[in-house]
Amino acid sequence: MTVTLIIGGASGIGGRGHPPAARTWPPGDHIYGATKWAVTGLAENARLMVTHDGIGVTLIAPGRVGTGFWDNHAGGPPDVDMLPAEKVGEAIVWALTQPAGVDVNTMIVRPVGQPV
């Protein structure tokens, strides 16, 4: 059994959605990065709590994703490459369809060339 924690969408902290800031974030963006790091810690602690029961926990950390979030965003979508939401979905399906005994813990999915 796999429990999946999907981080994505439109929290809009700082107006940027959710890049994979659980690993790195731009200088001066301390609060935003700290909240993403907290989610990473929560996922790892959940994994430690249930792994002995044969349950996997997967944290999906998407980078820039072209979603409806940008429809109401001031200034519209950024002029950068974004992943189609379907590609993030394919990554989630991949994580969920691994053979028994395989636990994909953290997956960062971002468009090629996204620096952070």
Active site residues: 32
Closest CA to 60 of 10, 110, 111, 112: 110
Q: Give the integer Cα–Cα distance in Å for 55 and 12.
A: 31
Indicate the residue type of 70: W
